[in-house]
Amino acid sequence: MLLYKVLENSRIVQRYDKEEDILNIQLSEKEYWKSVELSNGIVIDIADDGSIISFEILGASKIFSGDTKKFIEFA
């Protein structure tokens, strides 16, 4: 199940895929160029102009637990 939330007065979109346990925070809708995966389970999507399009947090429920779990529940 994929949930979407557009933050108020912003173009930032949060999506949380419960089945895959991935939180995506989209900053823009520019043309995608490539992704860079960091060792901590964060993927950065980069536009063809070099700017950051989005962040993907793999295993989000393990990172956001306890009180911070509200962050993924908000998505």
- Coil, strand or helix at 12: coil
Tell me how far CA of residue 46 lies from CA of 31, 63, 64, 75, in angstroms: 9, 23, 24, 22
- The answer, as to whether pTM is greater than 0.85, is no
| pLDDT at 63 (0 to 100) | 82
> What is the C-alpha to C-alpha distance for residues 6 and 19, in angstroms, rounded to an integer?
20
pLDDT per residue as tens digits for the range 3-38: 555 545 567 888 889 899 999 999 988 999 999 999
At residue 74 the predicted structure's pLDDT band, cuts being 50, 70 and 90, is: low
Q: 75: which 2 tokens?
A: 């998505």
